[in-house]
Amino acid sequence: MSHPDDRPYDQQPYGGSTPPAPLDAAQDKQWASFAHLGGILWLLPSLIIWLVFKDRGRLTAQESKEALNWQITWIIGWVLSQMIGLVLGAIPLVGGIGYLLFSLLIPWALYVVNLVLSILGFIRVNGGGTYRYPMNFRFIK
């Protein structure tokens, strides 16, 4: 007599987990808008929402990818401003002004832009629309 566990793996009664359920329209809109709002905390919220929900809702997949691409673009701009500030800071005579401008003022201005655009994205998507950032490199296609 054969044992039930002697069946091939793909015929096991408990062989695999079921895929997560698709998001309903309200959940899809909610997670899509949260992907934009998460930008005020930098990259991680948008990345997590994209990884977890991209296959469960069309709007969430689209908007979380847009928000994630913006966060990557924004962080690259922030890092570049810091690097330019350090280089300019090493130059005599103009170093102090360059360092102040590129390492302190521009990064804060970039953060304010990120904050405003992330909130605008949240409001637009939460209201039932979609949002495209004004300048965004599409790293994730």
Least confident of 37-41, 80-84, 96-100, 114-118: 96-100
> Any idea where the domains of the chain sit in the sequence?
22-123
User: In the structure encoding, which two tokens stand for residue 140, read together?
Assistant: 């994730």
Q: How far is CA 87 from the centre of its chain?
A: 29
According to the model, what pLDDT value does residue 55 have?
94
User: In the structure encoding, which two tokens stand for residue 38, read together?
Assistant: 């998460």
> Residue 93: what are its φ and ψ, rounded to 5°?
75, -50
For 94, the 3-state DSSP assignment is coil
DSSP 25-68: HHHHHHHHHHHHHGGGG-SHHHHHHHHHHTTT-HHHHHHHHHHH
According to the model, what pLDDT value does residue 103 have?
85
According to the model, what pLDDT value does residue 5 have?
55
Question: Does residue 36 surpass a pLDDT of 80?
Answer: yes
According to the model, what pLDDT value does residue 11 have?
57
Report which of residues 56 and 87 the model is more confident about. 56
Asked if residues 27 and 58 have their Cβ atoms less than 8 Å apart, the reply is: no
> In terms of Cα–Cα distance, which of 116, 113, 122, 127 is closest to 66?
122
The residue-averaged pLDDT of 103-117 equals: 93
Q: How confident is the model at residue 9 (pLDDT cuts 50, 70, 90)?
A: low
The residue-averaged pLDDT of 7-25 equals: 70
Question: Does residue 44 surpass a pLDDT of 60?
Answer: yes
According to the model, what pLDDT value does residue 2 have?
57
Question: Does residue 87 surpass a pLDDT of 90?
Answer: no
d(CA 106, CA 98): 10
Question: Does residue 14 surpass a pLDDT of 70?
Answer: no
The residue-averaged pLDDT of 90-98 equals: 79
